[in-house]
Structure 1
Amino acid sequence: MNVVIGSILIFCGVFFVVVAAIGVVRLPDFYARLHASGKAETLGAILCLTGLAVYCGPNQTSLKLILIIFFLLFANPVGTHVISRAAFRYGILPWKKRKE
């Protein structure tokens, strides 16, 4: 049962990481790309690590994976915010749709 639940979580995590990669390629400006990578990649990584923790079962490796999950949960949003704030202060303006 752990294998099935772990595999589903890992598959969902990989899906969100792929969506984040597509968002980085397809979105029009720096801030939209940063938003896509920050949100979807964080969720994808957390789902993948949760799936690995479930797959491993209750042991020391799962505890380490849970600690990594908590670190990612706090570090990725803060890092995204710091990068976007630095870009805005540097002068990178958000994309605006042209009037036709």
Structure 2
Amino acid sequence: MAAAVTCRVQYLEDSDPFLCMSFPEPRRPPHVELDQNLALSEQIAAIHSVLEAPLKLEDCTLQLSSNGSYLDLDSSMEEQRDELEHFYEDVA
């Protein structure tokens, strides 16, 4: 089993619920390599940097676009494998 998985990442600026133009930015999501065995909290700063997101890092979290589930940042992707079942099917 590979220790890294390549993901496409985007951010959603949703701080203003009345803003009608809330869409993921950037429109062409970059690819990042995530270590499946490393806690996501240790990887989110690199994702934030790649995206050049205007949000504060402490206001960020990770969400799967396929089902809307939020990931536990204190756990690794491997530790959340059951919740990520469809994600792993898509990257296989």
Higher share in strand: 2
Q: Which structure has greater helix proportion?
A: 1
Based on CA coordinates, which of the two structures has the bigger radius of gyration?
1
